A and B are shown apart, each in its own frame.
Chain A
């Protein structure tokens, strides 16, 4: 319990509460505003005349007879075929997460159990790779991918994202496996398992919390990627984020901006749900690196 001496003076308490409130508005308001505005016409969302129009939807009501309209969403999803991009993102995310967790788990486990010097150098290399912006690698991909005729298709992007994802996955899972006592698999080996059997029978059943946290971050990397997708995918194979960027290029005609707004809101919803369900894991993953130094 907080003692009397630790209790805050009223003025500080008010100041602190006001600050939290201010930050809450800063963090949440842009999203709420955009979600609300995505059901309006452009003249309401960008209202020069009177900003309350964005709240009441006066222009929207004048056009559609109701303060809410889903034309932005229809335009984006049906007319501009945004569902294709959503599908592509789904495919990319699914395969990136599955593949990178599969090979990352094996690698991370090996790194955590080997005592030789080279594990250190491998981890350092991974750290350097992790720090490099993906865009710097793209110019290295283009020529060979054109040459081999694999530019523009989803599998190429998936494998590139898996590779870019590996350094982080390895670090995360390495430190996670370090926390699983090696006596567990040692004793399995004494009982006659080989290393892989020990891994499969002893480690796999207890590794899921760490794998899920790592998987979340792999998912975010694949979902949020812009540089790789924009450069390595052909127009028909685009994922969501490059597609939204492309929308912006064609927003000169009226109504199209609202397509982009609707698409942006649609792309934010899965992230919103993700944070809602996995808040604990995300916070845990973010701080895991910090606490270990």
Chain B
């Protein structure tokens, strides 16, 4: 295809991505290094006879407006926003580091910094949910594969539901069930034997609940991919293993799993990236007090009455960097495939 023809075919989609993905990234990066102008304050001394003089601090609307009009970007602060208390908190970390002898104390104080708390949850969520998803998906795939074929279709249909359903809606449905008045929550209260037992009250339990949601909603994806992989499993390999006297477990371990390995890598990479973006369940579970992720951190900055664009932009950039790190193995592999294909 000639360059010119290609250009015409690609132009609409290219333009859409340029204007609404590439440009916003530039805009986000710029916003993150500029802080909004503070209001210009003036001190006015007003003197009234007999009472005396008082100085009042008021906002000089006119000067503020001129300042904002002159420099609509705000004032340049470099990496200041990244290092402030709401984000990487370099200064605070230095203090905590200096004042703590042990690692335990250091980490517990680190947990008081909002950004690190969000980071801790995001990473814990990502690295616990991903392996569990893969494991559960694999077991479901093996179990469903041994079913009668009429049942398979039905199982696939119901298995898809937790994944297809809107994440916010799925998390709400689970949340209403684990509410202390809901059916599962109620059962847990009886099980714990404590009428005041509530998932919502405990940070640890809330984290567990969020991760249960994470596994529940993404296991179907792993299942479907592995199930498709099982259909291409070469029969003769299994037979050869059986002739060699392999037990069922050995067959799974030495024949099935190696055959599925490329798919495991694929699912793991997709899931790492998806779980790193964890967002809706925290909103749906109203778990903001116990768990924050990088995404909800941005969401809260943007949604408040004072839209803190610069702060949100800085977190966005950090999130994008995190995604880029997780994505790098995929990129390297795509590059190798491309080299190999030529």
Binding site for B on A (CB under 8 A): 5-6, 8-9, 12-13, 16-17, 19-20, 23-24, 26-28, 30-31, 33-34, 37, 45-48, 51, 54, 102-104, 106-107, 109-111, 113-116, 120, 122-129, 131-133, 135-144, 159-160, 162-164, 166-167, 169-170, 195-196, 220, 223-224, 226-227, 230-231, 241, 244-245, 248, 260-261, 264, 267-268, 271-272, 274-276, 279, 282-283, 286-287, 289-291, 293
Q: From the candidates A13, A54, A164, A248, name the one contacting B183 in the complex (CB within 8 A).
A: A54
Question: 12 more A-B contacts (CB under 8 A) besides A113-B1, A267-B166, A290-B263?
Answer: A16-B146, A102-B12, A133-B323, A137-B20, A137-B25, A139-B31, A139-B316, A162-B16, A166-B17, A268-B169, A276-B157, A291-B228
Task: Tell me, rounded to whole Å, the shortest Cβ–Cβ distance linking A137 to chain B.
Answer: 5
Q: B173 and A30: CB pair below 8 A?
A: yes
Given B21, B28, B169, B173, which contacts A164 in the complex, CB threshold below 8 Å? B21
Supposing A110-B9, A139-B31, A290-B228 touch, asked if A120 and B307 sit within 8 A by C-beta, the answer is no
- Render B316-332 as a binary contact track against A, CB cut-off 8 A, 1 for contact: 11011001101100110
A27-B158, A128-B327, A241-B168 known; A19-B17 Cβ under 8 A: no
A248 and B13 CA atoms in complex are apart in Å by 37
28 A-B residue pairs with CB within 8 Å: A16-B143, A17-B147, A20-B151, A23-B155, A30-B162, A30-B173, A33-B183, A34-B173, A51-B186, A107-B13, A110-B10, A123-B334, A124-B335, A128-B324, A131-B323, A135-B299, A136-B295, A137-B316, A139-B298, A139-B316, A140-B26, A163-B19, A195-B9, A226-B167, A226-B280, A271-B165, A272-B161, A293-B333
> Chain B residues with Cβ under 8 A from A113's Cβ?
1
Q: Inside 8 A of B140's CB, which chain A residues have their CB?
A: 19-20, 23
CB within 8 Å of A: which of B137-177? 139-140, 142-144, 146-147, 151, 153, 155-162, 164-169, 172-174, 176-177
Which among A20, A129, A276 is the interface contact of B143 at CB below 8 angstroms? Answer: A20
CA distance A146 to B307 in the complex (A): 12
| Inter-chain contact A103/B224, CB cutoff 8 Å | no
Nearest A residue to B270, CB-CB: A289
Q: B268-283 CB contact bits vs A (8 Å, 1 = yes)?
A: 0000010001011001
Q: Is A129 a contact of B225 with CB atoms below 8 Å?
A: no
Q: Is B237 an interface residue (CB 8 A)?
A: no
A31: nearest residue on chain B (CB-CB)? B161
The secondary structure that dominates the A interface is: helix
B38: chain A residues within 8 A (beta carbon): none
A25 to chain B: closest residue by CB: B158
Which of A48, A137, A227 sits near B21, CB closer than 8 Å?
A: A137
Complex partner residue of A144 from B27, B228, B320, CB under 8 angstroms: B27
The interface residues of chain A lying within 8 Å CB-to-CB of B16 are: 103, 159, 162-163, 166
Give the CA-CA distance A34 to B184 in the complex, in Å: 12
Contact A142 B302 (CB under 8 A): yes
Using CB atoms and an 8 Å cutoff, list the residues of chain B in contact with chain A: 1-3, 5-6, 8-10, 12-14, 16-17, 19-28, 31, 139-140, 142-144, 146-147, 151, 153, 155-162, 164-169, 172-174, 176-177, 179, 181-183, 186-187, 216, 220-221, 224-225, 228-229, 238, 242, 248, 262-263, 266-267, 273, 277, 279-280, 283, 286, 295, 298-299, 301-303, 307, 309, 312-313, 316-317, 319-320, 323-324, 326-327, 330-331, 333-335, 337-338
Contact (Cβ within 8 A) A264 B143: no
A140 contacts B146, C-beta separation under 8 Å: no
Of all A-B residue pairs in the complex, the 10 with the closest CB atoms, nearest first, are A140-B24, A163-B20, A110-B9, A107-B13, A46-B181, A136-B316, A103-B12, A140-B27, A287-B228, A133-B277
* Interchain CA distance A136-B279 in the complex, whole Å: 12
Question: Of B17, B19, B176, which contacts A167 at CB under 8 A?
Answer: B17
Q: Once the chains bind, are A19 and B139 in contact (CB under 8 Å)?
A: yes
* CA distance in complex: A271, B160 (Å): 10
CA distance A142 to B312 in the complex (A): 11
Closest-CB distance, B227 to chain A (whole angstroms): 8
* Alpha-carbon distance between A168 and B174 when the two chains are bound, in angstroms: 29
Question: A282, B146: Cβ atoms under 8 Å?
Answer: no
Minimum Cβ distance to chain A for residue B298 (Å)? 5
B25 & A124 in contact (Cβ 8 Å cutoff): no
| Cα separation A195 to B3 with both chains bound (whole Å) | 12
**Beta-carbon contact of A244 and B5 below 8 Å:** no
Q: When the two chains form their complex, are residues B224 and A163 in contact, meaning their CB atoms are under 8 A apart? A: no
Determine how close the nearest CB of chain A comes to the CB of B115; give it in whole angstroms.
15
